[in-house]
Amino acid sequence: MWFVETVVLSCIITLGWTLMFTVPKRYILPCLLMTAFGFGLKTALVYYEVHLVIASFFGAMLASFLGVYFSKKYTLTPKALISPSVICMMPGIAAYKAMVSMVQIGYFGYSDALFSQMMGYLFEALFVTSALVLGLSIPGLLFYRRRAIV
């Protein structure tokens, strides 16, 4: 039950972003489907104890593959569909905790524990963001490549 709730909440986030990006009404459902499958895969992989970075990579890659499929079906640019679908996978909590730790270091003074905590959250946010970028770029490399690989 928690899985369905999590996926529905991520779709609500995507609905808000599609409205902010002014995506046409007929393309909102494919964005929600991409979010449901991509975020659902990420959540399922994290539940089965796959590392968050790898789970984010595969979730973003699945959403991106679906974005390429829907963009060819509806003759729309893939970025218009993929961008709102992947925003819910951004590591906002880790980045926020890194910033809070940084402010605490400035306020309370340096300590090894706070610095270690800050760097842990910072690297988690950086690696998850990098995994999302790589996951989004894989279908573009496969389908929109103009030159031969060799």
Query: pLDDT for 99-139, tens place per residue?
Result: 999 999 999 999 999 999 999 999 999 999 999 999 998 88
| Cα separations in angstroms, 78 against 23, 36, 84 | 12, 17, 11
Query: pLDDT for 28-54, tens place per residue?
Result: 999 999 999 999 999 999 999 999 999
| Cα separations in angstroms, 108 against 2, 52, 150 | 38, 31, 56
Tokens of 54: 């790898």
The C-alpha atoms of residue 138 and residue 132 are separated, in whole angstroms, by: 10
**Considering the entire predicted model, what is its pTM?**
0.87
Query: pLDDT for 44-96, tens place per residue?
Result: 999 999 999 999 999 999 999 999 898 888 887 878 888 888 998 999 899 99
- Kindly give, in sequence order, each residue whose CB lies less than 8 Å from that of residue 40, ignoring residues fewer than 6 positions away: 3, 7, 59
